[in-house]
A and B are shown apart, each in its own frame.
Chain A
């Protein structure tokens, strides 16, 4: 999917997560898989979880504020990561 800065996303209702150190373990009990998010993945997950829903642009801004990363790299890797979450039915877009 082509995410834009204004695309709104939220976590799906069929998942449960737990923080483990700098990482997060996520269970999708609809798909039946469980996952590990690394530190940056956990940061993004926590943002969406805390805010209920967020735009992709807002997430990108938070990442750029917090981490030492170029905007182009940030945008490209965030899009790839969100697509991975979407494919695993862990997030969904909000109309």
Chain B
């Protein structure tokens, strides 16, 4: 009763959005 429910897990992701140099 006292333990808080845990949040849903998803794989941690790092997505490359773009390059400042190209811009």
Contacts and interface: CB of A to CB of B under 8 A. Distances in A.
For chain B, the bracket of interface size reads: 10 to 19
Nearest to B18: A34
Contacts of A32: 19-21
A37 interface: yes
Interface in B1-23: 6-21
B9 A78 contact: no
Nearest to A25: B17
Interface in A59-92: 63, 65-69, 74, 77-78, 81, 84-85, 88, 90
Nearest to B15: A36
Given A66-B6, A67-B6, A68-B6, A77 B20 contact: no
B12 A66 contact: no
A77 B10 CA distance: 10
Interface of A: 25, 27, 29, 32-41, 43-44, 63, 65-69, 74, 77-78, 81, 84-85, 88, 90
Given A39-B10, A41-B14, A77-B11, 4 more contacts: A25-B17, A63-B9, A68-B6, A85-B14
